[in-house]
Amino acid sequence: MIIEVNNVNKSFGAKKVLRGISFKAEGGKAFGLLGRNGAGKTTTIRIIMNVFRPDSGEVLLDGDPIERFGARIGYLPEERGLYPKKVIIEQLVYFAMLNGMEKKDAVSSCDKWLGRLGMSEYRDKKLETLSKGNQQKIQLITAVAHDPRIVILDEPFSGLDPVNALLLKDVVRELISSGKIVLFSSHQMNYIEEFCDDIAIIRNGEIALCGPLDGIKRSYPRDRLVIRSKDYERIAYEFRGTTTLGKSGEVMLTLPSPEDKNTVMKNVTEKYDVDEIKVFEPTLNDIFVEYAGGKRGENE
């Protein structure tokens, strides 16, 4: 299963919101859709879900144009909210039925998920009586109860305590391993880094960067070494002019060229007591700041 977004453009009035957005996401993998506020992430998601039609371009699922209600998409919107005054099981079943389930299956699936997330005791309570974190879990059920093929999670971890975040991580892993397409949108880079094999960074409605996260990281020049050692001050002194001090006990060394890295590594480990030495790879956070920020990003 593969979802392809091909050269999608979209304007609202005079404002061009999306300009030639293209990317692919495969089943069994998580795809991270990144971008600053207002970059066009939610609009992209809504176009995938067929809430808006693109001005040009197309969204294909396994090569065919995606059907609005046949595609079985599960969606956890960034703006959370259900019916506060309605009984939880009733609204869960309602949403599952709207997504194509029969009533009986909807009830059993919702009950299963309530149990899975430890929420069975709230089954017949009104939503408004729950804490914010628990309401989030209920909202998650609306995204997965109908066994969707594509799951779109917009900021899934915001507002969850560490225990619930762990629970959600399990659920996400399970979704990925069951072969679904999982589309992540988040500002919390650590989660994206943890789950996503591929990412796309959107800036001002354009794809600023797209591809496998591994490859992106490796594409950075491998001419910097991070050395952790109790002798870090001495190392910094020896390579003065090319070093910057990192966290306490760490020094970063910029090489004249990437080819020198093996020689320098060998020399340093022979000469000093080194705990760790590795080629510096940027974190997703660094990549994000570089691509999503920048001068054009500042103007938003």
Q: List residues near another protein by CB under 8 A.
A: 12-13, 46, 49, 51-53, 68-69, 73, 75, 77, 79-84, 86, 90, 94-95, 97-100, 142
Distance of CA 120 to the CA centre of its chain: 29
Which of residues 90 and 250 has its CB atom nearest to another protein in the complex?
A: 90
- Smallest separation (angstroms) from another protein to the CB of 18: 14
| d(C-alpha 291, C-alpha 284), whole Å | 10
Which stretches within 178-293 are classed as H helix?
A: 189-195, 213-219, 232-238, 261-271, 284-292
- Residue at token pair 């001002």: 204
Q: Which two tokens stand for residue 270?
A: 């022979």
Which of residues 59 and 253 has its CB atom nearest to another protein in the complex?
A: 59
What's the start-to-end Cα distance of the chain, in Å? Answer: 35
Helix (H, G, I), strand (E, B) or coil at 119: coil
Which of residues 2 and 98 has its CB atom nearest to another protein in the complex?
A: 98
- Smallest separation (angstroms) from another protein to the CB of 288: 25
| d(C-alpha 273, C-alpha 280), whole Å | 19
- Smallest separation (angstroms) from another protein to the CB of 10: 10
- Smallest separation (angstroms) from another protein to the CB of 45: 9
- Smallest separation (angstroms) from another protein to the CB of 84: 6
- Smallest separation (angstroms) from another protein to the CB of 108: 17
| d(C-alpha 60, C-alpha 5), whole Å | 6
Which of residues 81 and 256 has its CB atom nearest to another protein in the complex?
A: 81
| d(C-alpha 294, C-alpha 24), whole Å | 25
Which among 182, 189, 179, 170 is positioned nearest to 73, based on CA atoms? 182
- Smallest separation (angstroms) from another protein to the CB of 74: 10
Which of residues 96 and 200 has its CB atom nearest to another protein in the complex?
A: 96
| d(C-alpha 186, C-alpha 37), whole Å | 10
| d(C-alpha 295, C-alpha 282), whole Å | 20
Which of residues 154 and 231 has its CB atom nearest to another protein in the complex?
A: 154
- Smallest separation (angstroms) from another protein to the CB of 36: 19
Tell me the CA distances in angstroms from 34 to 26, 191, 243, 296, one per residue in order.
17, 12, 32, 16
Going by their DSSP bridges, the two strands 181-185 and 30-35 should be labelled as: parallel
Cβ–Cβ < 8 Å for 6, 57 = yes
Which of residues 73 and 201 has its CB atom nearest to another protein in the complex?
A: 73
Which of residues 83 and 280 has its CB atom nearest to another protein in the complex?
A: 83
